[in-house]
Structure 1
Amino acid sequence: MPKENLIYRLDNLEYQYHYLNNTLDGFKPRLNGTSKIFNAKGKRTTKKVAKTLQMATLESLTSQLDILRLEILQKKAYHLEKKIASYLEKTLQQQSNALSKHTNAKNETKRNTLAVIEREYTFPKFANLIAKSKVAKLVVSKVTPTRTLKEDPPHWFKDSEYLQIINTKESQYNPGNIWNKTVLPIKGCDQLLSLTMNSKKYKEIVESFDSGMDLFLNNKREKKADASQNEAGLSKGDSKRSEKSSKGQPSSGESSEDQSEESSEAESDEESGRSSVSGESQTANIDEDAILKAYEGMLVASDDEAAEEESFMLNPNINYNEVTDEEPSAEDSEPSEASSDEEEEQPRKRQKKEKESKKKVVLPELISGYYSGGSEDELSEDEVAKKQISNQPKRKNRRGQRARQKIWEKKYGKNAKHIQKQLEKDKEEKQQRQIEYEERVAKRAAKAKALEETAQHHREKAVSNNRTSEKPEDKPMHPSWEAKKLAEEKLKNVKFQGKKIVF
């Protein structure tokens, strides 16, 4: 007999519970089939689901959920406990056998530890103690991961055996009690257990239990949602950083007045943003000049401007030293050198920014080609391109009647409509054949009866004719007949008159 799917049953009960509480928006079923069943469009399934939801009550669902959750937890914990115990017992026994065959000074401590465990507890009992304590710790940490849940555990988990083990310090299987009274008194036992439980096999056992508990507690989808949110947050942070890095600082060619105006505007924007109670963002106060300055490093000069810059040359007939009012002193020359260094560094920065901007700028792809309004062939090509570009899924061909009937037979069995129709048709044909057969039999019987009646009538008529027929009258015989009759009588009475001859 197949085992009952307890997770599927738990999913259905939780769906009914959230439906009655009007909290379906926050509930995510573990299995995809749960939502499909409760949101099915078929008439029979819809009626069945509606009947189930009408009969359900919060009290009955709560009690059923508590019992089912505790049952699932007990089965998972029992399965894990048996696996860990068998693994520990097998590992300890193998190590003991291997060390007894190959004795040396390095393995003396480990061999003594195993000997003490075998002498005081035996390997099966020791493995059961460790496995029970580990399972209790894992189960409680899974069901009550936070401090609030540990202080106020779920209602269905309060009477659990494993919660009692953790809360009762004097319990035989309490992890602290096992560690202090069983593991630590034996020299080298802690190291032996740490090595044994650090193996790949033990980790696989615990990981399989974790995945099963995540499905049971419905934590799998929440973890996926958190991971997707974290990835989205990281991508947003990266995009913000790239935007900040792409924005260039104001160029050195701008005057100090422009810088002071920008700083004053920025300060006023910040003050207005802090004082605003309505919660409007500061992006509404951004000036157009600030936007242009941010993208100044990305702008490329046109061909005319480049030609003007290349065509500009110094006039050799003008003495520019005489035109200037004052010649620069030694003190003024130092900052000029510094400014020249800054001017040399700034073009390098601009070049780097331009390269970065060229890498980050993504132009939109051309969706369709150029259309010149030419011949009809081009129109047909454009239509073909549109069909290829469109992402509409192609309509699948409908299955044949026999294929659909096979699907219905697997789904509904004898209750499929086409099977019921065929049965009704066969039944009607059988009834019609029976009616026709009965008509034929009745016709034959009537015909036979009619024949019998006619024969009987003829027989009766013949008998009546015989009875009514008169006897022949005694008339005088003809003289010739009388003479012949007399002659025959005479011949009968004639005596033998001959002689006997003896040979």
Structure 2
Amino acid sequence: MSKENLVFKLDNLEYQIHYLQGTLDSFQPRLNHTAKLYNVKGRKNQKRLQQKLNDLNEKKLLKEVDLLRVTILNNKIHNAEKHLTNFFEKAMKSNKDVKIDEAEIDSKKFIESVIVSKLVKLTRSKVTKMIKMKGLTDIPNWYTRHEFETIWNDKSNDKNPSYVWNNIVLKIDGASKFISSSMNQGKVKELMNTYENGINVLLGIAVKEPKKQEVNEKVSEEMDEKAEEDEGDSSDEDENISAQEDIVPDQDIDEDVLKQYDTLLVDSENEQDDNGKALDENINYNEVTDEEPSDEESDSDSETTEKKYNLPQLMNGYYSGGEDSDASDIDETEAKLVKEQTAMPQKKNRRGQRARRRIWAQKYGREANHVQKEIQEKQAEREKRQREYEERVEKRAAKQAKSDKTNANLIPIANAKRMGMNNGTPVAIAAVKPNVNENHPSWVAKKQAEEKLKNAKFSGKKITFD
């Protein structure tokens, strides 16, 4: 029995709600098939669809959507917990550095608390991101009533991220190191990424990445625009460049991305006031080269500013223990970019020999190498057979010629001795050819007998009777 596609069902319900609320312009379906389903062609199909949409009840749809979201979230949580629990149980058996007091907490309870706290923290950060992206004022009702939100708000809950870190992990020797190393394993990262992608699809915050060709075209266009601007600037403007541009180089950072790090980073304006040094107009920097801010200094400063994004909260397996730990999660687009740059290139399977030959035959026809090779092999085989046939014919003719010289059947027995047959050993003589005009000896003997009878003379006595 095939499983029901809950994401497609959720897409349909949300489309119907946006249709009733008149906000279809702001709705982006998760699946392409959803838009095709409601953009049918033909009068009958459009009439049937319109009749179906007119019979909708908004309150009923809102309840169904909330229940469906909770169902999908619970399925994602169950699947992630099951696989992560199997991994951590195997890792605990092979790791002897973690010393757990079974009297206080058993290993299964410890693993369950760690896994649930990680999932609660990740899910809460995604919900907060959805609120910012969609411009909502508060957490949706369906998630407010969920167990994860209850765990997040209850700081005394044994699965709350801050409680797990402060009251469980820190009190067990080697637990923090074990969690950090386990969370950095490839299998755990893959499971967490799968869960994160599922939550993104559920909340409708999945970002479609542009294709490589589109990215390359945008980069080339930006490079061309920068080159034109650099050529149009005068030399006076280059000399009066501000100190802020020397310290922090131009970076193509989206404003929306920077807003997400407002809670993580110190005010950049204050840093520039403290660290930035404006150029003195009274000093000729062409003569005093040592005091001129060089490109290397600006590069080093830019590297320090970029390193500020690599906070410990962004690393897997790290527990901050604070209430606002959701603000430390890295942005989804940044994580995908890092994953693309660090991932090994996937090896493409090579086509089979028959598939490659079909392509070559369609492209080159009879001029293809394998076709020419087959033709040459057939020609060589044909020549070989012809050569073997000619050799057999020559051998047969030579054997026949040799047997004709010594064939005793062609020599009459009466003339064998006279013609050189001594003791049955033939002597090299000329071949005797029979005369075709001569009659057979038996016929000659019969004719002679008949002639004698015709010419016979009477030799008896004549007797007379009285």
What range describes the TM-score normalised by the shorter chain of this pair? 0.3 to 0.5
More helix, by proportion: 1
Rg: which structure is higher?
A: 1
- Select the structure with the greater relative contact order (CA < 8 A; seq sep ≥ 6): 2
TM-score normalised over the length of structure 2 = 0.46
